[in-house]
Amino acid sequence: INDIKEKWGNKLTISYWCQDETRLGYRTESGQKITRAGVKPKQIFQWYYNYYYVYGLVDPLKGRSFFYEFSHFNSNCLGAFLEQFSQTYSQEIHIIQLDNASVHTAHKLIVPDKVILFFQPPYCPELNPIERVWQYIKQRLKNLFFTSIDDVKYKVANILNSLSEDVIHSLTGWQYILDALSL
């Protein structure tokens, strides 16, 4: 961090973000439905699975978020995502918590200057607060029937656009993280 501050000066603030990506598609995911006693719920299913990826970053302290969709999950897409994020929040140094997926640790991944990657322990997705955001989104997609990937993208975009900073903060602002960031 000191090297970055030397390079960019003390004008920049340091922010903490949590990053992950999720795969979304239009195969119907069933969930619970409330019906009268003895009535079995009926559901139309889409079995074909066409999908895309949403890359996301959340700031547990302030409730900020940054999402971008990609067709693939690879280091080129992650590098482009981090670059776009770094340009959007150019007046900050970013410490980003992420898992140890091979894409995140690839040698050809180009990480922007003001981004520091902080890897969580392997096989511990529950340590990353953004997982709760993915659950929130996927819960709102349950029992819906989509006829195209564009329908899914439209619905997901509406869900993401409706996420306020308060909602992001309530989903990701775990007390132990907030305590650590308040030092």
> Can you identify the CATH homologous superfamily of domain 2-25+46-178?
Ribonuclease H-like superfamily/Ribonuclease H (3.30.420.10)
Percent of the chain at pLDDT > 90 equals 64
How many other C-beta atoms lie within 10 A of the C-beta of residue 141?
Answer: 18
pTM equals 0.85
Q: At 125, phi and psi to the nearest 5?
A: -60, -25
Distance CA 132, CA 179 (A): 19
- 145 or 22, which is more confident: 22
Distance CA 24, CA 11 (A): 39
pLDDT at 133: 98
Q: Is a pLDDT exceeding 80 seen at residue 123?
A: yes
Q: Is a pLDDT exceeding 80 seen at residue 12?
A: no
